[in-house]
Chains A and B, each alone.
Chain A
Amino acid sequence: MRIVPFDVPGHKRGRGNPELVRLLGEQCVGLDINSMKPLDNLCHPVSVIRDAEILAAEAFGAAHCFLMVGGTTSSIQSMILSVLKSKDKIILPRNVHRSVINSLILCGAHPVYVNPEVDPRLGIPLGMRLDQVRQAIIKNPDAKAVLVNNPTYYGICSDLRSIVALAHSYGMLVLVDEAHGTHFYFGDNLPVSAMEAGADMAAVSMHKSGGSLTQSSFLLLRQPEREGYVRQIINLTQTTSGSYLLLASLDISRRNLALRGKTEFKRVIDLAEYARCEINGIGGYYAYSRERINGDSIFDFDVTKLSVHTLDIGLAGIEVYDLLRDEYDIQIEFGDFGNILAYISIGDRKQEVERLVGALSEIRRRYRKDKSGMLSQEYLAPKIAVTPQEAFYAPKESLPLGDTQGRICSEFVMCYPPGIPILAPGEEITPDILEYIRYAKEKGCSLTGPEDPDIGRLNVLK
C-alpha cells in the first residue's frame, strides 16, 4: 500500500534528504514514520504497539511491558517516578547508574543507601547483602521501595528472591535495574530474572544483550492495575514522536529472543566460558566467574559477562582498554582501575574471541610492569550530607578541584562507562575521592558529570 505522506517527518520517506538515504538506506528511512491511526501511538497504544507490548509482556513473564524509546535511562526514571513522590524514601545500593540518582533529583525522594561490600581482591563493588537490606528496612519502615541491580555492570547478582520476599513482607515494592540482564529471561543456567523473582518492576535494556537498536528499552510491570498510572508517568517525560525504527527493533528483537533466545544464549555462555578459560591460561589476568559466589554479596554471577581483572600485570583496566583499541583495533565495553569488561553477545563468533585473547596475551608480553602504586578500589562509600534534589538546586559556587575538600558537591562525577557516580549531588568531597578523581584522570578514564567539562572545577554548596 502506497500512502501519500502529507505528515511529518518532513524528509518524506527520504525524498527530501537524499544524503540521509545514501547514509542509512531506503528501507531504514522508509521506516522512519510518524504515529498515525494504522500504526498506533506510543503515548496511548491501542493497536499494533499494544500488540507488541502484550507479546513482549508474555515473553518476559510480566503483566505489562512498556516499549521505551528514551533508553533504559527513561525506563529507570519512569519506574522510580511511578512509585516515589517528594520526600519518600527508597532503599538502594550506592553503586547504581546515574539515571537512578537523576530520578531522585527529579522527584525529590530521599535515598537510603546500602553500601555494597567491596571484593578485596578485585576492588569491585558487590551486591547488597540480605542482612544489610533487612537492617535498612527495619530502620526505615516508611520506605516505599527497594531498588536492586540485577546484575551489576560486572555481572554480580544479589539474592533477589529473598530481597523481594523481605521487602514485600514490609509492604515495600521492589524495583530492579536490569539494564545488564535482558538475557536472564531467556537463557538456561543464568541468574534469576526480576519478574521470576517476583519483583514489581524492572528496567530491561533490550539494546544491550537483547540485540535491539541503541536507545530502545523495555519497562516491565508485575501489577496489571498500575498500567494506566505508569503510562501517565512515562508520558511526563517521553517524546510524543516515538521512533518507529526503535519500536520495530524492539518488537523484532523480542521475537528473536522468544524463538531462539535459549540456544543463542547457550552459545554466548559457551563463548564466554571459552574466553575465560583461555584468558586465565595466559597468566596474570583473572577472568572471574562463579567461583566468586559467596552466598550473599555475590549471590550469583552472570557468566555471559567477561570481566577480567588486570592489575596483576601492572596495568589498570582503563590502560588495557586503551591499548586494545589503539594498538589492536578492539573496542571493549569498559575499563576501570583494575578490571575490563568485554561484552559477549549474540553477535559474537569464535574468531573475534580469538582476537581478543590473542591481543590480551600480546599486551601482557609487551606492556606488563610492576603493579606497585596502583589503585584497585573501584568504589568509595559516600558521606551523604543532603538529598540529591536539595543539593542539585541549592545555591552553589564553583571551586577549583583542589579547594573542594570537605565541601558538599552539588553535581555528579563519574567515569563513563560504567556511569556509576564517584560523587553524587549532596555528598561530601573527601580526600579519598579527590585522590580517586586525580588517579582516574591520570590513567585516562573519561570523566563526566560536572558543568566544567575538564573536571578542573566542581560546583559545591555555598
Chain B
Amino acid sequence: MELWFSEGHTPNTKLSIKVDRQLYTCQSDFQRIDVFECKDFGRFLVLDGYMMLTERDEFIYHEMITHVPMAVHPNVENVLIIGAGDGGVIRELALYPEIRRMDMVEIDPLVIEVCREYLPQTACRLSDPRLTIYIEDGLRFIRTKENAYDLIIVDSTDPFGPGEGLFTREFYGNCFKALKDDGIMVNQHESPFYEEDARACQRAHKRIVESFPISKVYQVHIPTYPSGHWLFGFASKKYHPIHDLDATAWNLRGIKTRYYNSRLHTGSFALPSYVEELLKDVE
C-alpha cells in the first residue's frame, strides 16, 4: 500500500510525504485538522491541507520565533502568544524563569486538544502554571489591551483561512498598542520564494513597517515548508535585533538548542539580495 500526503506549494509544484498511518482527522468550526505519521518526519500536523509542523523539523521554527526576541529584550515578564495551539512556542518560552505570565490566544480549541493528544513533543508544556489559554479571535483579544506586554509572538497560519486577520494593518496596530514602550513583536512572515507567498510576505512587511519604528526580517530554513526558505518578522518599539542582542547574557543561561545560537542570530538577519529588494520595495 502506498498512501501519500501532498501539499501543493504552487499550482505546479508539490511536496509529497509517504504516510505510514493517519492518526486523526476532523473538521472543526474553523478548519480541517489532520495528524499523520511518516518515516522521515515523524508525526505531522496539517490544517486545511497545509503542513503546520512535523516532529522532525519543528524545532527550527519554534526556537527561532522564540529565542531571537528573548535574546534581545533584557527583561521579558509578560508575553502574548497568538495562535500556537500546538504548544511549540510555549515549550521554548517555558525555559525562561523570568517570564511571569504567558497569555496564549488560539481561535480553535480543537487544535490544542488534538496536539495534546497526538503531538506531546510540542504540547508538553501547555500545563505550565504561568500560561493562560484564551479561546478567542486574536484580533478581538488584542483590541482591548494597552501597554500590557513585553513580547508578542504571532504564530499564525497563512494569510487565508482563519489566520487572515493576523496579517492586517489593524492587527499590527493593535499589537503596537498592546506592547509596552520597549516591546517586541515577532511574527510568522511567510516565504519570499514562490510568487504568491512572496506577495503575502511583502504585504505583511508593508503593514508592519507602517506600524512599528523598527521592523526587520530574519530567515530560517524549514525543510517541510514551501521552498524551505522561511521568514520571521522582528518589529520593535525600541530594541534593535542585532545592536541590542546580549549574546553573553543569553549564552550564560545555558539553554540547549539545536538550531538557534547567538552567531546564527546575527546571521539570520542577513538576507539574500532578492529578499532585501522585495522588502525594500514596500518600505
> Chain A: residues with CB nearer than 8 A to chain B?
278, 281-282, 327-329, 350-351, 354-355, 357-359, 361-362, 365-366
11 CB-based A-B contacts, threshold 8 Å: A281-B144, A329-B168, A351-B165, A354-B139, A355-B165, A355-B170, A358-B139, A358-B142, A358-B170, A359-B168, A362-B174
In the complex, which residues 147-174 of chain B have their Cβ closer than 8 Å to any Cβ of chain A?
Answer: 162, 164-165, 168-171, 173-174
Q: Are B140 and A328 in contact (CB under 8 A)?
A: no
Q: Are B162 and A351 in contact (CB under 8 A)?
A: yes
Interface residues on B, range: 10 to 19
If A351-B162, A354-B165 touch, does A361 touch B174 (CB 8 Å cutoff)? yes
* Minimum C-beta distance from A201 to chain B (A): 43
Q: Are A351 and B164 in contact (CB under 8 A)?
A: yes
Does B100 have its Cβ within 8 Å of any Cβ on chain A? no
Does B137 have its Cβ within 8 Å of any Cβ on chain A? yes
For B136, give the chain A residue with the smallest CB separation: A354
Complex contacts, B168 vs chain A, CB 8 Å: 328-329, 355, 358-359
Q: Are A365 and B162 in contact (CB under 8 A)?
A: no
Q: Are B170 and A361 in contact (CB under 8 A)?
A: yes
Give the CA-CA distance A280 to B160 in the complex, in Å. Answer: 28
If A351-B164, A357-B143, A365-B177 touch, does A327 touch B137 (CB 8 Å cutoff)? no
Q: Are A351 and B137 in contact (CB under 8 A)?
A: yes
Give the CA-CA distance A356 to B168 in the complex, in Å. Answer: 11
For B142, give the chain A residue with the smallest CB separation: A358
Give the CA-CA distance A335 to B137 in the complex, in Å. Answer: 27
Q: Are B165 and A362 in contact (CB under 8 A)?
A: no
Choose among B137, B139, B164, B173 the residue that contacts A365 (Cβ–Cβ < 8 A): B173
Complex contacts, B177 vs chain A, CB 8 Å: 362, 365
Complex contacts, B140 vs chain A, CB 8 Å: 278, 354, 357-358
Complex contacts, A327 vs chain B, CB 8 Å: 169
Q: Are A358 and B164 in contact (CB under 8 A)?
A: no
Give the CA-CA distance A280 to B117 in the complex, in Å. Answer: 40
* Minimum C-beta distance from B183 to chain A (A): 16
Give the CA-CA distance A19 to B15 in the complex, in Å. Answer: 33
Complex contacts, A365 vs chain B, CB 8 Å: 173, 177
Choose among B139, B144, B162, B173 the residue that contacts A366 (Cβ–Cβ < 8 A): B173
Given contacts A354-B139, A355-B165, A358-B143, 7 further A-B contacts (CB under 8 A): A351-B164, A355-B168, A358-B165, A358-B168, A362-B169, A362-B177, A365-B173
For A360, give the chain B residue with the smallest CB separation: B170
For B137, give the chain A residue with the smallest CB separation: A354
Give the CA-CA distance A361 to B137 in the complex, in Å. Answer: 15
Choose among B139, B142, B144, B162 the residue that contacts A355 (Cβ–Cβ < 8 A): B139
Q: Are A362 and B137 in contact (CB under 8 A)?
A: no
Name which of A328, A354, A359, A366 has the most chain B CB atoms within 10 A of its CB.
A354
Choose among A329, A351, A361, A366 the residue that contacts B143 (Cβ–Cβ < 8 A): A361
Give the CA-CA distance A282 to B173 in the complex, in Å. Answer: 15
Complex contacts, A351 vs chain B, CB 8 Å: 137, 139, 162, 164-165
For B171, give the chain A residue with the smallest CB separation: A358
Give the CA-CA distance A329 to B171 in the complex, in Å. Answer: 12
Q: Are B173 and A362 in contact (CB under 8 A)?
A: yes
Chain A to chain B: the 4 pairs with minimum beta-carbon distance, closest first: A358-B170, A359-B170, A362-B173, A354-B139
Q: Are A362 and B164 in contact (CB under 8 A)?
A: no
Give the CA-CA distance A299 to B52 in the complex, in Å. Answer: 53
For A365, give the chain B residue with the smallest CB separation: B177
Complex contacts, A358 vs chain B, CB 8 Å: 139-140, 142-143, 165, 168, 170-171, 174
* Minimum C-beta distance from B176 to chain A (A): 9
Complex contacts, A281 vs chain B, CB 8 Å: 144
* Minimum C-beta distance from A37 to chain B (A): 43
* Minimum C-beta distance from A209 to chain B (A): 24
* Minimum C-beta distance from B36 to chain A (A): 27
* Minimum C-beta distance from B237 to chain A (A): 15
In the complex, which residues 207-253 of chain B have their Cβ closer than 8 Å to any Cβ of chain A?
Answer: none
* Minimum C-beta distance from A270 to chain B (A): 15
Complex contacts, B164 vs chain A, CB 8 Å: 351
Complex contacts, A350 vs chain B, CB 8 Å: 137
Complex contacts, A329 vs chain B, CB 8 Å: 168-169
Give the CA-CA distance A366 to B174 in the complex, in Å. Answer: 11
